[in-house]
Amino acid sequence: MKRISSIVLSISALLMIHQPSLAKDTSDANNAFGFKMLSTLKKDSKADNLFISPLSISQVMKMAMNGAAGKTLQQMASVLQLDGTDPASINKQDQQMLAAITTPNASFVKMFKENGGGDPTFKLRVANSLWGNKNIVFAPDFISTCQNSYKAMVKSADFSKPQTVTEINSWTSKQTEGKIPTIIQKLRESDLLVLINATYFKAPWEDKFEKQETKQMPFHATSGSTPKVSMMHRHARLGYQENGNFQAVRLPYADRSNAMYVLLPKESKNVDAILASMSGQTYRNLTGNFEQKLGDLYLPKFKFDYSKKLEEALQKLGMIDAFSSKDADFSKMIKTGPRPFVGSVIHKSYVDVNEEGTEAAAVTAMMMVGSGMPRPEQPFQMKVDRPFLFIIANETTNSILFMGIVGDPTKDKFED
């Protein structure tokens, strides 16, 4: 039985090192932050393809915010589009959101097993960990909040021993099913804390792309070249919308709680224009405007790794003081010891999109709706043969899990 249709994962690590009110909706804020982050990264990037997890990055930042105060806290909240929201409200909303997105759809699991599918292939894992230098006494409230609100594994470790790096990377590899085997290269005795989030996603399409339909076709890459790519094809009734800026299609996963949105700029537009127009509200409007329509979708297969240090991007977005040994205020993080500040923020990700589905997708596809004669309609054609934006989202909570830009599907590794 074919199992994997798409594997996506991401990991972010926030390394803290030592040298001398009503809450906004957490999903809308997280989505708005993601669009701003991706737009900022693209402006300075030399990579053809970019891929981030707003959820992963924000999880690390929100844990750290529980140790922050004053201007440092204000700046971090502003970057996350959570101005004026107190950390306690953020923690509560995130706790509820994480519970919702990681709880399997009961009807999907039941249907999958009843139709001979065995264990469902859908996986969405969000794991947090906190690795503290054993020589530092951390504030109990900070530690307990990370444990209770973010389910973080907390461990006191000897940062002078190489085996601590090995242990951290082993945790990373386990949480990402081996797709991201390392997140840090070394630790120093003066380092205080490593905060890590690993987000892993694996799901079959609700309706798979047939392999015999995949053909070699040209793609007009960002560089101006036109490499041949493996272009998947599906003729079906799909969630579709179109406006003056882009065509968009919705591709649901078999669990019926998550979906991919592919946004293809009109030939006179580009991905930058789409990103500039996106906010929490415009994204919410986008997801509510899909209508079922018959048409032809051509979508390239793609698989790539992406790695980026996020310090510069976060500072451009307004998170300044946290990176300053003089101005950073993480006074709620450490009970006794040196003054902490953010030394680095590392983000690594991996994505694989192809034709594969499962039998569960076939069963789901057999549902029929009607009756009555269908009205005549003009079929759409969406040929994704130039740079595009894609989003993987949990539709139960309206939370963007991952988002990326594909400028050349033939390229498979990027490190900015």
Contact 16/340 with Cβ under 8 angstroms? yes
Q: Where are the domains of the chain?
A: 6-203+304-351, 211-300+377-410
Q: Edge-to-edge strands of the sheet including 6-18?
A: 153-157, 123-133, 191-203, 6-18, 340-353, 302-309, 413-415
Give the homologous superfamily in CATH for domain 6-203+304-351.
Antithrombin, subunit I, domain 2 (3.30.497.10)
CA angle 315, 57, 37 (to 5 degrees): 50
pLDDT tens per residue, range 154-208: 999 998 899 999 999 999 999 888 888 888 888 887 788 899 999 988 888 888 8
Q: What is the pLDDT of residue 265?
A: 95
Q: Pick the residue with more confidence: 106 or 64?
A: 64
CA angle 353, 355, 358 (to 5 degrees): 110
pLDDT mean across residues, the chain? 83
Global pTM value: 0.87
User: Percent of the chain beyond pLDDT 70?
Assistant: 83
Domain 211-300+377-410 in this protein, CATH class: mainly beta
The sign one gets for the Cα dihedral 317, 322, 323, 328 is positive
pLDDT tens per residue, range 341-393: 888 888 999 888 887 532 221 111 111 122 234 455 678 899 999 999 999 99
